[in-house]
Structure formats: structure tokens, C-alpha cells
Homo-oligomer: A and B are copies of this chain.
Amino acid sequence: MTQQRLALVFLAGATAALAASDWSNQGIVYLDRSPHVVLHPVPVHAVEIGKGFWYGRRAANVERSIPTMLELLEAHGIVENFQNVAAHKNAPHNGPLYTDSDLYKWMEAAAWSLQSGDNPELRRKLDSLTQVIASAQEPNGYLNTYWSGDMAPKRFTEMYRSHELYCLGHLIQAGIAYYRSTGSTSLMNIGERFASYLAADFGPDKRPLLTGHPELEMALVELYRTTGEAKYLHLAGYLLSGVETARLHLTPSQTTYLFSGLPFTSRTSLVGHAVRAMYASSGATDYYAETGDQAYGKTLETLWQDLTRRKMYITGGVGSRSEGEAFGEPYELPNDQAYGESCAAIGNMMWNFRMLQVTGEERFADVLERALYNGVNSGMSLDGTLYCYRNPLSSRGDKIRNPWYETTCCPPNLERTLAELPGMFYSTGKDGIYAHLYHNSRLSWHLEDGTGIAIEQKTNYPWDGGVELTVEPARQESFTLHLRIPAWASEVSLSVNGQAVNAPAAGSYAAISRTWKAGDRVSLRLGMKPAIMTANPLIESDYGKVAVQRGPLIFCLEQPDQSAPVGDLVFTGTREPFQEAMHDDLLGGIVELSHTGGVWDPPASAAPLYAPLPAAQAWARRPVELKFIPYYAWANRGPQAMEVWVPEAAPRK
């Protein structure tokens, strides 16, 4: 069965071919030739991000995060590892066994950033790093600095932990990013040589292979898309097919934790290591985009329902448990102990970005945006030099941001996400163009029939829900402009050239079909009334509590803004309005929300652990004003107590 399916895939893949000239037209995933997608994302360079929310974040990324992270990678000997292997020095390996990937991910971030502003010095740095990496590669294509020297005999013997294929995945992605930004295949070729070696020597009838930490699947599909070489798609399918459980003696706890080693299509829930599960799902979506295999389609939908109905934080963070950095049971979403690794939230974005392209369905953009603005965005400090690995939704003030982690996977992952961001704004479809995200920006691209198009967005999003779009087709043409109406929109209005258009439902794309001419103006208003959110009562950590959401942003109480300890605050008067105020000088410029609340008196820390009701009723609650800031901005004034889910009024007062 599997063999037969893969053979068909192989034939389908053979129709694609690498067109050397189109490198600059390729998005962060390149779907123009993918038979089973609805949408085709535009390249990063097609969208220029103007002043506003992401402008500052992305400037910090380019000016501080990317440069300082390379310095740290070099200082920790991560580059030296390659030099040592190239020089056949049997020097001790620096960092954890998977740290090659950290450099590759940094290179991917740097490469994407070139599309938003060329930087000859950075190019030279990338070129010289490429040479260093190439010099560490073996003639057969193998490349991994940990599994070299004395460790070389153990290659492919401990794949459940070796991260050999994980590192290759990031190498390939970095190479593809550099290719799409510069046309140079030099870095991509290194990855391709290793991938060719795998494709030649491993497989169901050859040596067995396991990704161990899924990542290579999506990289291989992307390499197939970029080179047209079907063997890479074939290899991705083999990895996803999970047929080597027996040959590799994998235990159930391994295949659970690794989210690999079993057929992807046998999965019915998200379990194990959250980043692995998100990357595997992303890779499976890529594979589906090429094959249309309905077993994958069904599994992806089942897993997505599991994610969004039972296992996702309101911030878009995923992976509740510190133990195994893992998904928990359904509704196991603790706040203080939330793990919510930045990489897992990024994986969530990556997966939903792919699902969005495959289906064109708005619900995937909602999850992407939720993760982007909250659980991902919280991962990098406002100044771009400190990172969260964990992203809890409650804190008593532990230090959560650090410049470096021994396992430093999250920082360069955050950097590549910000660098890629323009590539997530728009997709083309056969009937026109889709706008997924809103921000001051200018799209310069073309419709699928080749007609040039520019779209200018003027907005103060996400602080304000008004977006003015000016559409500039190169010539007058009929097509559909699909504007995303987020599910959170409290009300929606839409007009074209001042003429009201029927307001579509929140949680869909408004499809405006007409003959467009240069200068047509579309005015979109998305209601951003602060919403008092409640959680499913099966989430034991959130019962009786509320969270505040305004537009795409989740808010929180942070200690410096409050007049009493965060742990003593309760939310009162759910029918009372919020006060909203833009503070340009606070936390890089935010909307702060104020609401009526109360404070326990005496403080909770003075109360007994358990008390019968009459005693509990003796508690007093004195009124106090609660001040909410956006969650992503917390812990930028040093370690602070913080709460997303605020207990609502004492049950009996």
C-alpha cells in the first residue's frame, strides 16, 4: 500500500522542475505548483511593512536580535564545532548534540531578513558560514558536528535522540531561504547532498530511518518544491509513513514522545513533545499539499480539532507540560505551570499557515494570528535581546527572559518568524487575492494571471480595527479581493469607494468581487470591543476566571500597573465597560485597558489553604481598578507577577 502510494507520488513529483529564474517569486513555502492547495503565499519581499506594531519588533530583530544571537552562537563555540570537524580536530563538542540546528535556524532568519532590506555584510557572513559548514561535510554528504570524530561510528544508531535528521531539516530550510533571498544555491546544495545520501541509502528495503525530532519532513517537501526532485518528497513520505517501528525497536513511549515512528495517519490526538507534534503536522500538511492523500487530510483535521477544542492556550501557546515539553491530557492547561515553549507556538503558526494555504479557510488564520500576536510574540523582549523559552499565563515573578539558553532553539526560531512575517500577509488564489493580516504595509505583487497588483494598507492595527486599503491593479481587471474577517471581530463594516458593502460574518473571508481599477479604496472596520473571555469548564485552571481579549491581543494583569498584589485581584462587574487608553511611552506603545475589580482583604497569602464556607464568606473584597496590558509585553520591566486568567468576583458576596 505505502509503496504503491509513494510510487504514484513519485510520478506526480517528476512533472515539477527547478526553474532557476523563479527563486525570487517563491514564498516562505512555495506552493505555486502544489496540486492540492487553494492559496499561494506571496514572497517576503512582496510586502513592505510600514510603521506600526511590527515595524518596531522587526527593526529590533534585524538591529539587535540577529546580530547579538550570532555573537552568542560564536561565543559558545557553535561555529567552532564545524571548524573542528573540518580540521579533523578531535576537540570536545560545544553545546547540546542538536546545536548545529541553532546556527542553521539563525542563518535562515538572517537569510529571510535580506528580502526586507539587503545587507551586504550579512550576506558575506552567511557566505563565509556556508563555507565553514561545507568544509565540515563528508564526501558522502553526511554532516553533523556532534556525530563526528569519535562519535561517527554511532551515526544512525540512536535516531530516537540523535537529531541528525532534525539538524539536516534546519540546514535545508536555511539553504532554501538563502536561495529564495539571493538566488545562491550554495547553502541549499549542502543540505541537498546530505538529503541525496539519505534518499539513496535509506528506505523500507534499505536501512531504516526515523526523524526522531520531526522537522526534516517539511524541509524535504520544500526541497522537492524547490528542486523538482521527487526523491525528496518520496523520502518525506517514507518518514511520515512510520513503518520502521519494529526495525528500530521503538517503544510506545518513544513513538508518543517523538511524534514519529508510527504512521502519521494513525495519530488521533496530539501527544508527546509539542514542538515535534507541531513540526510533524506541518510536514504532513506539506505532504498533503503535494499528494492530496485523504488519509493525511482526515488526520490533520482530527488533530486540529484536538488542538483547538482541547489543548491550546488562549495565547495560541501549546504544550502544557514541562515534563517532556509535552502536550497534556485534554483540557490540561495550567497557567502558572504552563510550559508553552516559544518554539511550539511557532510550530502552531507554521502548521496553521500551511493549513490556511491548503484550504483557504479563515479558522486557520485565526489560530495563526492568535499565536503570532500572543504566544509567539511574548517570546522576544521588546528590545530584542531577551527571550522566553517558557511562556506561562501566570507568574509570581520568576525570571522568565534570558539572552541565552543552553538549548537555544527558541531565540533563532523567533528571529526567523519575524523575518518571514511579510510572507504571511497575502496569498493569491485562482480568483484573486487574499489578505490574511493587517498592518501599515504595501504589497507589490501580481495576480495569478500575471497582472501586477499593489495593495496599500493604512491602519493602526492591532490597536485599532480600521483598515483602509488602496488597490492598484496594473490594469483594470475583474477579480476577487478576499479580506479576512477575524472571528474575534465584535462588529464588521465594509465599504468600497465609500459605498457600503454587506458586512460578512466574523470568522470568514469577505469576498469582494468586482472590476478593480487603480486607486479603488476599501474601508474595513473590525470592532475591537474588549471581550471578557471564559474558558470551557473542563479546564480546571480557568474555572470561575475571565481573560480579556481585544482584537487579536490577549491582555494580562502585570504587577507594576496594579495597586495590590496580582494574586489578590479579582474581576468584578462584567457588565461594566473598559476604559481604553493608548500610551505611546509605555512598553513600546500599547493600549492599556482599565476595569473595575476588587482585592482580597486580608490578602490571600494570609488565608488558610482550605476553609468551610462561612469562614470563606468572611473574606472582604474592596474595590480597586484593574489595569490590563497586552500579554506579549509582560516581563519587560524585570521579572513580575502576572495573570492572564483573573478570578471573577467571589462566588458568594
Contact = CB atoms under 8 A, between A and B. Distances in A.
A115 to B, nearest CB: 35
A533 B616 CA distance: 8
A535 B609 contact: yes
Contacts of A536: 604, 607-610
Interface in A326-360: 328-332, 334-337
Nearest to A643: B540
A531 B607 contact: no
Nearest to A544: B544
A19 interface: no
Interface string A312-333: 1010000001110000111110
Nearest to A324: B323
A613 B534 CA distance: 6
13 contacts: A308-B609, A309-B608, A314-B609, A330-B396, A531-B613, A534-B610, A537-B570, A538-B604, A541-B541, A543-B543, A543-B647, A549-B612, A648-B651
A160 interface: no
Q: Which 5 A-B pairs have the closest CB atoms?
A: A544-B544, A323-B323, A531-B612, A534-B616, A532-B613
Given A534-B616, A538-B605, A607-B536, A329 B336 contact: yes
A649 B648 CA distance: 13
Interface of A: 308-310, 312, 314, 321-323, 328-332, 334-337, 394, 396, 531-541, 543-547, 549, 567, 570, 574, 600, 604-605, 607-613, 616, 645, 647-649, 651-652
A559 to B, nearest CB: 15
Contacts of A608: 309, 536
A584 to B, nearest CB: 28
Contacts of A328: 337
Contact of A323 (B314, B322, B332, B544): B322
Nearest to A569: B537
B609 A533 contact: no
A610 B543 contact: no
Give the interface centre of A337, A534, A541, A616 by most chain B CB atoms within 10 Å.
A534
A577 to B, nearest CB: 13
Given A309-B609, A536-B607, 19 more contacts: A309-B608, A312-B609, A314-B609, A323-B323, A328-B337, A334-B334, A531-B613, A532-B612, A533-B612, A534-B611, A534-B616, A536-B608, A537-B567, A537-B604, A538-B605, A543-B543, A543-B545, A574-B652, A649-B651
A329 B337 CA distance: 9
A600 B537 contact: yes
A540 B335 contact: yes
Contacts of A322: 323
A442 B328 CA distance: 50
Contacts of A323: 321-323
Contact of A332 (B332, B337, B567, B609): B337
Contact of A310 (B329, B547, B609): B609
Contacts of A394: 540
Contacts of A549: 612
Given A323-B323, A543-B545, A545-B543, A610 B535 contact: yes
